[in-house]
Structure 1
Amino acid sequence: MGETWNILRTGSHDAHINMALDEALLNWHSEGHIPPTLRFYGWRKPSLSVGHFQKVEKSIHFPGLEKHGCQYVRRLTGGSAVLHDDELTYSIVVSENHPKIPHSIREAYYVLSQGILEGYKNLGIQAEYFIPKQKSKRTAVCFERPAFYELVVDGKKISGNAQTRKKGVLLQHGSIPIRIDIDMLFDLFIFPNERMRDVNKRAFRQKAATIQQLTGKTFTYDEVEQAFYHGFQSTLDVQFKPFELTESQWDEVYQLAEKHYKETIPSFV
């Protein structure tokens, strides 16, 4: 266990700060200012993050965001929309050329997600990797359908993850729900009518599951964080050194958040 990575615990922040900080970590690692870094964080308010290329005009119900006081942000990574609420979120930045990281996006995800698999085991949840038999159609809601090597229990998706590579660095981040407010979630998407909203809401209960549902227990954020910290530590086989941002680094994050991530409801609404 000769290599040392950073472990950064930033607690709960606004959506635009969370996404800016993930991008800042990518930049700092690219510039050689920090080693590979694992970050755990939460969300100050319920927040909807949408994929970098996701078209929201015909899928996101913005009055629903206002109704529930949800924040809205566009991620640096791709994929579908994710409601972040009662969950643990993680991010990892590591060089694309790191010996532990395969060149294939899919295989790199498999390597990094082993820590997630082990974290679930630490909570008493026996998850497995999803390997689709055929290509499935993308949906607007992230947790409606698992992708290659995402984790499932009895066919139900239990975490959502996304990845990008920029400046020679791989950034992967993901959502590990402790509990999901399904009524809130389905208020955030457009459906032809209320009957279809209810049909999709009922179907969703058979497609996704949370830590609370799978264990019948109420875990705190800190307990879940510790389970996944040990999961990543055992699978990555590295030492973790606590990392805290300096005042100037926080200033850089705030500037990036204002410039790239502080989005208001789009003008077409």
Structure 2
Amino acid sequence: MASRSRMRTPESSFRMPMSSPLGSAESFESAAPITALLDSPPIRELFGEPAECRLDFFCSPQENMARDWQRTLECLRSPDTPPLLRLYGWKPWAVSLGMYQSAALLNQERCRERGIAIVQRPTGGRALLHAEELTYAVVVRLSSERTPRQIYRLVHERIAQALEGLCGVRLELAPAPPLMERPPAAVCFSSSARMELLASGRKLVGSAQRILGNVLLQHGSILLGDAHVLLAELVDLPDEAAREHLRRQLRERSTSLAQLCARPISWWECALAVWESFCGVPIPGTH
């Protein structure tokens, strides 16, 4: 099928230099969202229908979670609502908790002192500090051809294609660990789940899903830098030994694009690559 698209872009043509600061919200303060309704072959493969692709730049934690969940509800209620690919960042930085986790996991005074917000995700998974990262969300209608597992794999394959192009480093999908080795981890990036993206055995992308009727929401974090390790300072732990153990786990079991590429990878540079891998066309206004 030939690529067809309807694009809606900001009134002024937006261009951001490739050297934008790593994960810096200040670089995008005046940027309006960029949206495109696309029906390209890569979009058809993932969504089975035309999808809205949206670059939201940096939003508040509450707004980020509300937008993902609102589109999930809209897709459930109306077949006329297109599915969604959304790329975004966080301002301010925030810890998101899985839908079954309690804020008691965190030292809330430490979070306040550091200006770190706390938000509940509509998906499962574990606590995560959203800092130096590009976050993605997809909202997909499920079918016999698009099961949750198939969507999970395909999304990670698209992300792997984008990131391998940036860094030239081979990424792999994590196998399921043996039952006796699965840790009861409360913190994301301290361990890996099945089919999450790894580089040399270390986690680079973490994702979570939720199914509502025939609609699936999946969102996840692509690590640009190492600020996620600061989560060890925000979790409520019994003593310094436990805190140091968590620091070590996060450092040893996760990696970032900055580490893999041996240079900073900006939020914008990553967004360009991920958008094109998912959509098959560049972000409107960038070429």
Q: Give the TM-score category using the shorter length.
A: 0.7 to 0.9
Pair 1:131-2:175 in alignment: yes
Cα gap change, 1:182 to 1:194, in 2 (>3 Å): farther
Higher relative contact order (CA 8 A, sep 6+): 1
State how far apart, in whole Å, the 2-side matches of 1:231 and 1:182 are: 25
- Report the counterpart of residue 231 of structure 2 in structure 1: 185
Equivalenced residues, count: 234
Cα gap change, 1:75 to 1:183, in 2 (>3 Å): closer
- Report the counterpart of residue 96 of structure 1 in structure 2: 142
Shift of 1:214: 1.1
1:208-261: CA deviations, max 9, x gaps? 001111111112211100111122235xxxx7997xxxxxxxxxxxxxxxxxxx
- Report the counterpart of residue 106 of structure 1 in structure 2: 149
- Report the counterpart of residue 90 of structure 2 in structure 1: 43
Name the TM-score, length of structure 1 as normaliser.
Answer: 0.81
State how far apart, in whole Å, the 2-side matches of 1:70 and 1:210 are: 21
Aligned residue type for 1:176: I
The question of whether the paired residues in 1 share the 8 Å contact of 2:99 and 2:123 is answered with: yes
After superposition, residues 58-207 of structure 1 pair within 5 angstroms as 59-97=105-143, 99=145, 101-102=146-147, 105-124=148-167, 125-135=169-179, 136-181=182-227, 184-207=230-253
State how far apart, in whole Å, the 1-side matches of 2:60 and 2:82 are: 25
The farther-off stretch of 90-99 and 9-18 is 90-99
The question of whether the paired residues in 2 share the 8 Å contact of 1:106 and 1:149 is answered with: no
- Report the counterpart of residue 267 of structure 1 in structure 2: none
Name the TM-score, length of structure 2 as normaliser.
Answer: 0.76
The farther-off stretch of 75-84 and 3-12 is 3-12
- Unmatched 5+ residue regions in structure 1? 243-269
3-state SS of paired residue (1:140): coil
State how far apart, in whole Å, the 1-side matches of 2:277 and 2:283 are: 16
The question of whether the paired residues in 2 share the 8 Å contact of 1:122 and 1:231 is answered with: no
The farther-off stretch of 213-222 and 14-23 is 213-222
Pair 1:23-2:85 in alignment: no
Shift of 1:196: 2.2
State how far apart, in whole Å, the 1-side matches of 2:278 and 2:249 are: 32
State how far apart, in whole Å, the 1-side matches of 2:245 and 2:183 are: 18
- Report the counterpart of residue 55 of structure 1 in structure 2: 102
Cα gap change, 1:118 to 1:241, in 2 (>3 Å): closer
1:24-73: CA deviations, max 9, x gaps? 1112222134322100000011101000011342x222122112101111
3-state SS of paired residue (1:218): coil
Alpha carbon RMSD of aligned pairs, Å?
Answer: 2.0
State how far apart, in whole Å, the 1-side matches of 2:208 and 2:96 are: 11
Cα gap change, 1:44 to 1:173, in 2 (>3 Å): same
Shift of 1:88: 0.5
The question of whether the paired residues in 2 share the 8 Å contact of 1:163 and 1:172 is answered with: yes
3-state SS of paired residue (1:48): strand
Aligned residue type for 1:218: P
Aligned residue type for 2:259: Q
Shift of 1:11: 0.9
Cα gap change, 1:187 to 1:141, in 2 (>3 Å): same
The question of whether the paired residues in 2 share the 8 Å contact of 1:6 and 1:37 is answered with: yes
State how far apart, in whole Å, the 2-side matches of 1:210 and 1:84 are: 13
Shift of 1:128: 0.4
- Unmatched 5+ residue regions in structure 2? 3-38, 40-49
The question of whether the paired residues in 1 share the 8 Å contact of 2:99 and 2:122 is answered with: yes
